[in-house]
Chain A
Amino acid sequence: DTAVSQTPKYLVTQMGNDKSIKCEQNLGHDTMYWYKQDSKKFLKIMFSYNNKELIINETVPNRFSPKSPDKAHLNLHINSLELGDSAVYFCASTPRGREGRNEQFFGPGTRLTVL
């Protein structure tokens, strides 16, 4: 199936741990994103990558480090997890780089719970 996929779907961990979330898209898109959706459903962009190049870093703590090994993958590594990191993290992709005219395709989300 063509889609944006994320793993894991659920992640429960202790404060202070380091964890990673993986994202893959097989849509051939150039641009990928990470979003954070908090408990109030507010969806906030974290990072944007275009062809493996970091485009946006929206004042996210440097405990969060995205990595794009190739155009189809954008992983999110989080160090020293804090309670406030608990949220649903969405990966998304869009077909073209800089035209601002295209829809975004979202993954199913990863629900991160930090205890």
Chain B
Amino acid sequence: SQQGEEDPQALSIQEGENATMNCSYKTSINNLQWYRQNSGRGLVHLILIRSNEREKHSGRLRVTLDTSKKSSSLLITASRAADTASYFCATGPYNNNDMRFGAGTRLTVKP
């Protein structure tokens, strides 16, 4: 079954603003990962947060995880035009190594 539903489906902001994307999932997880997909390209891993972690940072990225609400958020601060891409969350179950992806949030950062 599919996991990881992103919200909103599309987000358009000005360069310099912050972008927040949310992800909800349905079952228990081992970890949650965020990926970026530029147009016409494969997905690129951004950050992984484990189920026992609540917040993680990587450069301009901040990820939070609330396992009680089965949700995660990805914050991109001081956005740049180059951040324009689709962002996917993917959840990893406990019993195997296979991730489940959603349909992504399409982020457009206007210069």
Q: Please give the number of chain A residues whose Cβ is less than 8 angstroms from any Cβ of chain B in the complex.
A: 31
Candidates A31, A40, A97, A100; contact of B93 at CB < 8 Å: A100
Chain B residue nearest in CB terms to A33: B98
| Interface status of B100 (Cβ within 8 A of chain A) | yes
* A100 x B95 contact (CB < 8 A): yes
Q: Please give the number of chain B residues whose Cβ is less than 8 angstroms from any Cβ of chain A in the complex.
A: 31
B50 proximity list for chain A (CB < 8 A): 101
* B42 x A90 contact (CB < 8 A): yes
From residue B89, how far is it (CB to closest CB) to chain A in Å? 11
Candidates B2, B44, B97; contact of A94 at CB < 8 Å: B97
Interface residues of B in 31-68 (CB under 8 A from A): 31, 33, 35, 37, 40-45, 48, 50
| Interface status of B99 (Cβ within 8 A of chain A) | yes
Interface residues of B in 57-89 (CB under 8 A from A): 86, 88
A56 proximity list for chain B (CB < 8 A): 96, 98
Top 5 closest pairs, chain A to chain B, by CB: A106-B42, A103-B45, A43-B101, A100-B30, A100-B92
